[in-house]
Amino acid sequence: MHRATTGRTLGLAVGLATALAGTGAQAQTAEVLHYWTSGGEARAVAALQEEFEAAGGTWVDAPVAGGGGDAQATVLRSRVLAGDPPTAVQIKGPNIHDWAAEGVLANLDAVAAEAGWDDILPPLLRDIVTYDDQYVAVPVNIHRVNWLWINPEVLAEVGAEVPTTWDEFNATADALLEAGITPLAHGGQPWQDATVFETVVLGLGGPDFYRQALVELDADALTSDTMIAVFDQMRRITGYVDPNFPGRDWNLATGMVMNGEAAMQIMGDWAKGEFAASELTPDEDYLCVPTPGTSGFVLNSDSFAFFEVEGDDRVAGQDLLAGLILGESFQETFNLFKGSIPARTDLDRSAFDACAVRSMEDLDSAVAEGSLVPSMAHEIAIGRAPRGAFLDVVTQHFNSDMSSQEAVELLLEEVELAM
């Protein structure tokens, strides 16, 4: 799996990039396969391309639209089987380890050592991008999933405070219903149902239970009284969404909060881009607070995995690209565009808004207290098959009169079949 790393240093790749390109001594080429093809995502990846080319590299853009990465996965599989993998590929979570286990990912340890990645990445994120304790991918960002977005003017109509527990959330939602206001903007898509579900798991069970149930897939946790309470809360939530929620895209739900049609939304910090696009100010026009319950941070992250490639120009291109991705300049630029926070924890925070700064502070606290957990809904915690089992059961429950007891029994059955 691992090629020799002699001479693969960040200082050589970045420090001499322009000079080498100018003299023709060493070309640096990177074909980048990704599915960031629209809006802020396309703008963000364009920033990486600009930095790469400014450093003397030749960027070969290979975007694949649609399917949240499913279409890209098909293209990647065919390329690898044909013996012609791209230089770098946008891949998430356990999928990185799956490719590493097949022996097709490159060793980035020399670049990582030169730049001190061990010292600037949260331990959980480091685990995601390493295999057998060797770097095979580079994280681009950190998204926090467990955010509650609030329209403060709507909340003020019923004299409610920001809910910090699920009991408070339910009381606030009931008051909003009585006032004829939709409490929760939601899109009825399986991944959105699962996003809400995992925030309830964290809020009612805490980080340790979250790991047992959604990462370790422990049978006792999946059928426990705590998990029954989670589905009980999900049933309460079904009464707080409007009847037109099925099939609604997440950004349209965010729009409901912005224009006052609904009071709140549970969604990751990519929702912030919608508020920013409307030139709204955090802590004034909208509030960003953790979802109710105990402390914790649900992490979602995008990464680029680097495949074994042939040709000195492509190897040199990998070194250059890997170094730039975790460089201070790109980490700031990209995450300002994307709405996420930097993957590295040592970056200056002055350019980021109040929501991002709070996310960074909460990430530091979560790392210190051991409450940083990977997102199940967003393909960080577990593989696609068991994740699919969660999505199927959570969505079935959300859209039916299935009891909580029936839900936990079906969940265990489906997860065991998927493992």
* Distances 317 to 34, 134, 264, 373 between C-alpha atoms, Å: 16, 19, 45, 33
Does residue 125 contact residue 299 with C-beta atoms inside 8 Å?
Answer: yes
Buried-exposed string 243-261: b where 16+ CB fall within 10 A, e elsewhere:
eebeebebeebbbbbbeee
Nearest to 382 by CA among 237, 222, 205: 222
CA angle 187, 37, 59 (to 5 degrees): 155
Tokens of 304: 């680029």
Tokens of 338: 């994307």
Sign of CA dihedral 221, 223, 224, 226: positive
Q: CA 159 to CA 163: how far, in whole Å?
A: 12
pLDDT block averages, 10 residues each, the chain of length 419: 41 40 66 83 85 94 76 89 92 93 95 95 95 96 97 96 96 97 96 97 97 98 98 98 94 95 96 88 95 92 93 92 93 88 94 95 95 96 94 97 98 96
Cα–Cα distance measured from residue 295 to residue 227, given in angstroms and rounded to the nearest whole number: 18
Residue 147 near residue 290, CB atoms below 8 Å: yes
Residue by residue, what is the 3-state secondary structure of the chain?
CCCCCCCCCHHHHHHCHHHHHHHCCCCCEEEEEECCCCHHHHHHHHHHHHHHHHCCCEEEEEECCCHHHHHHHHHHHHHHHCCCCCCEEEECCHHHHHHHHCCCECCCHHHHHHHCHHHHCCHHHHHHHEECCEECEEECEEEECCEEEECHHHHHCCCCCCCCCHHHHHHHHHHHHHCCCEEEECCECHHHHHHHHHHHHHHHHHHHHHHHHHHCCCHHHHCCHHHHHHHHHHHHHHCCCCCCCECCCHHHHHHHHHCCCEEEEECCHHHHHHHHHCCCCECCCEEEEECCCCCCEEEECCEEEEECCCCHHHHHHHHHHHHHHCCHHHHHHHHHHHCCEECCCCCCCCCCCHHHHHHHHHHHHHHHHCCEEECCCCCCCCCHHHHHHHHHHHHHHHCCCCCHHHHHHHHHHHHHHHC
Cβ contact 101:313 at 8 Å: no
C-alpha span between 118 and 112 (Å, rounded): 7
Q: Which fold has domain 10-141+301-350?
A: D-Maltodextrin-Binding Protein; domain 2 (3.40.190)
Cα radius of gyration (the chain)? 22
Which pLDDT does position 72 carry in this prediction? Answer: 85
Name the segment(s) of the chain with CATH classification 3.40.190.10.
10-141+301-350, 147-299+355-418
In contact, 301 and 343? CB cutoff 8 Å: yes
Place of tokens 């909060």: 257
Backbone angles phi, psi at 34, to 5 degrees: -155, 170
The pLDDT, as a whole number, for residue 43 is 81
> Which token pair is 261?
């049609």
Looking at residue 68, its pLDDT comes to 61
Compute φ and ψ for 56, nearest 5 degrees: 100, 5
Contact 231, 404 (CB under 8 A): yes
Q: What is the pLDDT of residue 65?
A: 79
- Given 2.60.40.10, 3.40.190.10, 3.40.50.620, 3.30.310.50, which CATH number is that of 147-299+355-418? 3.40.190.10
